[in-house]
Amino acid sequence: MKLISKKDLFNLLTGSIFYGTGGGGSPQLAKKIYQSLPKNQPIKLKSLNEFKSDNLFITTYTVGGLSQQLIKKSIINQAQLIYQKCLNKKIFGIIPVEIGPLSLALAIKMASNLNLPLVDADFVGGRSTPEVFLETITLFNLPRTPLLVINNQGKYQILKKSKSYLEEELFLRKFAEKSGGFALVLGYPITQQMASKTLVTKTVSLAIKTGKKLNQKKPVGQLLFQGKIYEIKLLNQGSFTTKLIKIKNNNILAKLYLKNENLIFWLDNKPVLTCPDLIILLDQNNMPIFNLDLKLNQKISVVGLPAADLWRSQKGLKLFNPQLFGFNYKPKLLS
């Protein structure tokens, strides 16, 4: 076990923007959540092997596009009480749903509220993804129920059981759309034994280490391209933030497809890197960029990083690939 210090939170924010691959929720909101944490109650970070096999964990996150709002403290407290009553079991820790700025901050906030440790793992596998079902537990057909979804007005719904991950995704998206495109989720009860088999571990620690490297101006990832953004084209895909970003460097043209997160990168109309591998945009100071902060004429670097082994497995590539987003390409991965 280790205690997450104030400096760790600073590095974690940077690292989570990096592994968020342009999404994962607002860094500004994440920073506000970190600033609101009690100073006399440090966050404990524990690895999965520090728990007993039958210990139970849950997660929390927001569902919707990148344009988000701060969840009211009263709503978070209300959600916790409702969900614990629904679950009726002791919770031993909070697992982040993904490694993204707001997702991590919300998990840490809930761990603080309940005086529970944060678990050094995540459900998405060391990155952020746009679809709820793009999580490693989907590869093992694990349920996320009971699921609680609540909006800032205190209206909520509970899904006690589901037939498939598609039903869970639809349940959450429909509620979010009715709530202005944004809602808070609690759920994914999972034991230590099952989590050890289905989740990527040590991802929070890795985000802290990577954030530290970036803040020390050390390079991370494989450089793919450097250039200037000359066009940002908005695409209409429901409640998601979906864009086609065009970049150029002299006569070399590149483009990037993002649906909340960066998913496909082309050079001269040839796919160079695709999901599930990580595509990260860096600014002139080599700091990771949140996708709502992209601007015309902005100078950026595009770097790539291999995804976790679970995503690169046959099952992982079948679930998370460019065809899911309407592009007839096989996954193009880093060697």
What's the CA gap between 260 and 20, in Å, rounded?
10
Same domain, 142 and 84: yes
CATH code at 298? 2.40.390.10
The answer to whether residue 333 is domain-embedded is no
What phi and psi, each to the nearest 5 degrees, are found at residue 68? Answer: -125, 175
Name residue 118's beta-bridge partners: 45, 94
The answer to whether residue 242 is domain-embedded is yes
Number of domain units in the chain: 2
The answer to whether residue 73 is domain-embedded is yes
What's the CA gap between 172 and 263, in Å, rounded?
22
64 pLDDT above the threshold of 80: no
At which residue do the structure tokens 């945009």 appear? Answer: 281
The answer to whether residue 335 is domain-embedded is no
The answer to whether residue 89 is domain-embedded is yes
Among 192, 213, 234, where does a domain finish? 213
Q: What pLDDT was estimated at residue 195?
A: 98
pLDDT, tens digit (0-9, with 9 covering 90-100), for 80-122: 999 999 999 999 999 999 999 999 999 999 999 999 999 999 9
The answer to whether residue 169 is domain-embedded is yes
What's the pTM?
A: 0.93
The DSSP result for 55-78, as a single string, is: -EEEEEEEEE-S---PPPHHHHHH
Q: How confident is the model at residue 65 (pLDDT cuts 50, 70, 90)?
A: low
Nearest CA among 78, 75, 308 for reference residue 200: 308
Same domain, 261 and 197: no
pLDDT, tens digit (0-9, with 9 covering 90-100), for 247-305: 999 999 999 999 999 999 999 999 999 999 999 999 999 999 999 999 999 999 999 99
Same domain, 48 and 170: yes
67 pLDDT above the threshold of 60: no
Same domain, 195 and 235: no
Same domain, 20 and 37: yes
**CB contact burial 113-142 (16+ within 10 A = b; e otherwise):** beebbbbbbbbbbbbbbbbbbbbbbbbeeb
CATH code at 150? 3.40.1610.10
Same domain, 189 and 231: no
Same domain, 75 and 209: yes
Nearest CA among 1, 3, 30, 2 for reference residue 14: 30
Q: What pLDDT was estimated at residue 261?
A: 96
| Crossing angle for the helix pair 101-114 and 27-36, to the nearest 10 degrees | 20
Task: Please give the residue range of the domain that contains residue 106.
Answer: 2-213
Same domain, 198 and 294: no
pLDDT, tens digit (0-9, with 9 covering 90-100), for 184-212: 999 999 999 999 999 999 999 999 999 99
Same domain, 246 and 130: no
Q: How confident is the model at residue 181 (pLDDT cuts 50, 70, 90)?
A: confident
Count CB neighbours of 175 within 10 A.
21
pLDDT, tens digit (0-9, with 9 covering 90-100), for 215-227: 999 999 999 999 9
Same domain, 228 and 317: yes
Q: What pLDDT was estimated at residue 92?
A: 97
66 pLDDT above the threshold of 60: no
Q: Please provide the size of the chain in residues.
A: 335
Same domain, 233 and 138: no
Among 160, 183, 213, where does a domain finish? 213
- Edge to edge, the sheet with strand 242-249 lists 270-274, 261-267, 252-259, 242-249, 222-235, 299-305, 278-282
The answer to whether residue 44 is domain-embedded is yes
The answer to whether residue 238 is domain-embedded is yes
Among 187, 213, 239, where does a domain finish? 213
What's the CA gap between 87 and 103, in Å, rounded?
22
Same domain, 22 and 119: yes
